[in-house]
């Protein structure tokens, strides 16, 4: 498996718009983009070759809103960019690493993603991502 870089660090926040004040106003990091789906909003902040990804629930029953209600907001996961997610998952399976996603699914900006079971990674949620053809998806 070839890990290329830390693609992003995911942080669960109560409200993306309110959190933008910190990342843009305090740290001076320019917003790379936002993306919504039916249940969550995310904001991406490029920092060097990596990003900070803010995630907030848009509905009370969304995973992120439930995490905030349970006091489990904040640092959520680390995403590693891999050259081939299919090869990475096959290698991890062969090594006995349990996976939350047995096959890749589509994540933000068309990335193919999969999560590893935190029970095998010292309770750290790790996401693997293969970027779509054409490379980086942030400015």
- How many Å apart are CA 128 and CA 78, to the nearest integer? 9
**Nearest alpha carbon to residue 92 among 80, 109, 76, 106:** 80
pTM value > 0.75: yes
Is 138 a domain residue?
A: no
Flag whether 28 is in a domain.
Answer: yes
- Angle at 66 (CA atoms; ends 63, 69), nearest 5 degrees: 155
30: CATH: 3.10.180.10
122 located within any domain: yes
- Domain with 114 in it: 3-130
Helix, strand, coil percent content, the chain, rounded in steps of 5:
25, 35, 40
Q: Does 135 map to a domain?
A: no
* pLDDT higher than threshold 60 for residue 137: no
Domain membership of residue 136 (yes or no) is no
Q: What is the pLDDT of residues 90-115, one digit of tens each?
A: 999 999 999 999 999 999 899 999 99
Q: Has residue 139 been placed in a domain?
A: no
Residue 55: inside a domain: yes
Structural domains counted in the chain: 1
CA–CA gap between residue 38 and residue 77 (Å, rounded): 21
Q: Mean pLDDT across the chain, nearest whole number? A: 94
Is the residue at 137 inside a domain? Answer: no
């Amino acid at each position: 498996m070839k890990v290329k870089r830390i693609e992003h660090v995911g942080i669960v926040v109560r409200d993306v718009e309110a959190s933008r004040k910190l990342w843009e106003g305090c740290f001076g990091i320019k917003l790379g983009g936002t993306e919504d789906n039916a249940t969550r909003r995310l904001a991406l902040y490029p920092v060097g070759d990596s990003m900070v990804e803010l995630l907030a629930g848009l509905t009370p029953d969304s995973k992120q809103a439930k995490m905030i209600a349970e006091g489990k907001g904040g640092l959520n996961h680390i995403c590693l960019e891999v050259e081939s997610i299919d090869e990475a998952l096959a290698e991890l399976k062969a090594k006995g690493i349990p996976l939350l996603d047995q096959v890749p699914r589509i994540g933000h900006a068309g990335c193919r993603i999969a999560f590893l079971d935190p029970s095998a990674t010292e309770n750290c949620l790790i996401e693997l991502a293969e970027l779509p053809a054409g490379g980086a998806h942030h400015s």
